[in-house]
Amino acid sequence: MLAAFLPSAAGAQEPDPAAVVEAFHTARANARVWVEDGPEPALSAAGRAVRQALQDADREGLSPADYDVPAAATPQALDRAVTAALLAYLTDLQAGRIAPRKADPDLFVYRREVDGERLLQTVADASDPARTLADLAPANPVYRRLRRLLLEYRGLAETSGWGTLPAGETLKPGMTDARVGMVRRRLAATGDLTMPADPTDRYDETLEVAVRAFQRRHGLDADGAIGKRTVAALNVPVEQRVRQIELNMERFRWMPDEFGDDHVFVNLAGFELDYVRQGVTRLSMRVVVGRQYRETPVFSDRIRYMEFNPTWTVPPKIAIQDLLPKIRKDPGFLSAGGYEVYAGWSDDAPQMAAGSIDWTAFGKDRFPFRLRQTPGKKNALGRVKFMFPNRFDIYLHDTPAREHFRRSVRTYSSGCIRLEKPLALAEALLRGDRQDPAQVDDIIGAGQTTRVSLATPIPVHLTYLTAWIGEGGTVEFREDVYGRDALLAEALGS
């Protein structure tokens, strides 16, 4: 079930649609499928059901104009035109309108392989084509919840959506301001608040509860203060939210319907990690992801082992760009941080005394040193890292920089993913792997670098979602911190 989301699916050759249409009709001895018998081209009941599904493609976040059935002079031409339009619709519905990397080179997921001829046969042989077509939509529960949300927000758009809250001083509980009534109406539009029978311009406790809930589901600091970021979120037009929902439905068409009974799911745009065991979310935590100029890529793999008390070999780019300026400024930086210096990258490269090196003589064009941080409290990887070896050198890890988890926007890493509760995840993975989680404390206490392999590697999915509905029914939106919504919208031509 994970093949379409894992690296092994890369490079699959998509079949020629015209060849699929021809093979489908040849297999049925060119008998009419969607058209009535007779000299004139007229759709049968099955053909009308297909046409209706194509006209209703917007329910799936697709454009009906992409599946228009042109007029045809003969019944045979109409039959094939319906087949071609249906094939295009089913392919887009199940695999997405475009290949992910055509939208964004940092997306390392791949379109599902769609057996178009089989899908056409499934619809053609169905006793209820309309029901069958509905069942062929992605079965992922989050996708289906987004589909319902799309209908709801389109309804809001048709009734003029909501107004715009003007700029001004930060609104705080207890204040009286003419804008308070506007905030009430805005929150009532999306169900965050029930309008009181006799509303006033005072920012009361009931409104504060609603504002905090709105802030939480938009990834903002839930402090109840209506400042610039909260006003900006309130003022996003409903039409933009509709488009955001459609873009995230497209992303779910790239994903498998099931992520695995046991898996780790990281939403980079939401800065959150969920550990799912036997289909139930057992652990959630905040994460820190890559800075905007060192974005964490989207891909899936499997966590194969954990390394406790890890060392950190500093990547050359980070050594030059991040550490070298600090080393030049403070000669004691390396020793204070537990760094060792080696005269090269070979296994037998000799260790050097940091104080013997003139660091001002080196830079991006000449930096022959390998920097290695020993285990300890200051180690950049903390006490444990979770390894799923990949070409991006991305992994999950602990961090001594705990202050970043208190922020609502958490883009501070060099690409890897820092975890709020790394030891809780380590214990949960060991427990799920039928190993003793109590060993974690003993291993860390010993202070030695220790690898613990998982008998059954667990899928890990790094995703980028800016709109979804949680298991409790909460509608969640996030800022497009990496600009990937914008790239996808551009690639889709909208």
Lowest-confidence pick of 11-25, 65-79, 336-350, 358-372: 11-25
- Convert 256-284 to b/e letters by CB count within 10 Å (16 or more is b): beebbebbbbbbbbbbbbbbbbeeeeebe
d(C-alpha 445, C-alpha 447), whole Å:
5
Give the chain's domains with CATH numbers. 3-137 (no CATH), 179-236 (1.10.101.10), 259-311+376-463 (2.40.440.10), 314-373 (no CATH)
Band of pLDDT at residue 9, cut at 50, 70 and 90 = very low
Question: Does the pLDDT value for residue 27 go beyond 90?
Answer: yes
Q: Which helix (H) or strand (E) holds 85?
A: helix 75-95
Band of pLDDT at residue 5, cut at 50, 70 and 90 = very low
d(C-alpha 25, C-alpha 223), whole Å:
62
461 in catalytic set: no
d(C-alpha 485, C-alpha 104), whole Å:
10
| Residue pair 478/465 in contact by the 8 Å Cβ criterion | yes
DSSP 394: -
% the chain with pLDDT above 90: 86
Which residues pair with residue 447 across a beta bridge? none
Check 25, 218, 404, 416 and give the catalytic one.
416
Residue matched to tokens 């020793």? 335
Question: Does the pLDDT value for residue 1 go beyond 60?
Answer: no
397 in catalytic set: yes
C-alpha radius of gyration, the chain, whole number: 27
Show the tokens assigned to 318: 């980070």
Q: pLDDT tens digit string along 128-143?
A: 999 999 999 999 999 9
For range 355-379, the mean pLDDT? 93
Average pLDDT of every residue of the chain: 93
Which residues pair with residue 411 across a beta bridge? 289
Which residues pair with residue 341 across a beta bridge? 352, 371
| Residue pair 165/183 in contact by the 8 Å Cβ criterion | yes
d(C-alpha 126, C-alpha 488), whole Å:
35
Band of pLDDT at residue 41, cut at 50, 70 and 90 = very high
Give which of 450, 429, 400, 138 is closest to 273, Cα–Cα: 429
Distance of CA 300 to the CA centre of its chain: 11
Give which of 210, 231, 213 is closest to 222, Cα–Cα: 213
Other Cβ atoms within 10 Å of 6 Cβ, number: 18
| Residue pair 302/459 in contact by the 8 Å Cβ criterion | yes
d(C-alpha 53, C-alpha 89), whole Å:
9
471 or 6: whose pLDDT is higher? 471
286 or 163: whose pLDDT is higher? 286
Q: What is the pLDDT of residue 12?
A: 56
Q: What is the pLDDT of residue 357?
A: 94
Question: Does the pLDDT value for residue 2 go beyond 70?
Answer: no
Q: Three-class SS of residue 57?
A: helix
Band of pLDDT at residue 3, cut at 50, 70 and 90 = very low
Question: Does the pLDDT value for residue 112 go beyond 90?
Answer: no
Question: Does the pLDDT value for residue 487 go beyond 70?
Answer: yes
CA atoms within 13 A of residue 408's CA, in its CB half-sphere? 13
Show the tokens assigned to 101: 């990397």
Distance of CA 226 to the CA centre of its chain: 28
Check 25, 218, 263, 397 and give the catalytic one.
397
Question: Does the pLDDT value for residue 485 go beyond 90?
Answer: yes
Q: What is the pLDDT of residue 258?
A: 85
Which pairing describes strands 411-413 and 280-290: parallel, antiparallel, or unpaired?
parallel
Question: Does the pLDDT value for residue 8 go beyond 50?
Answer: no
In 249-345, the DSSP E strands lie at 263-267, 272-277, 280-290, 299-308, 312-313, 339-342
Q: What is the pLDDT of residue 254?
A: 92
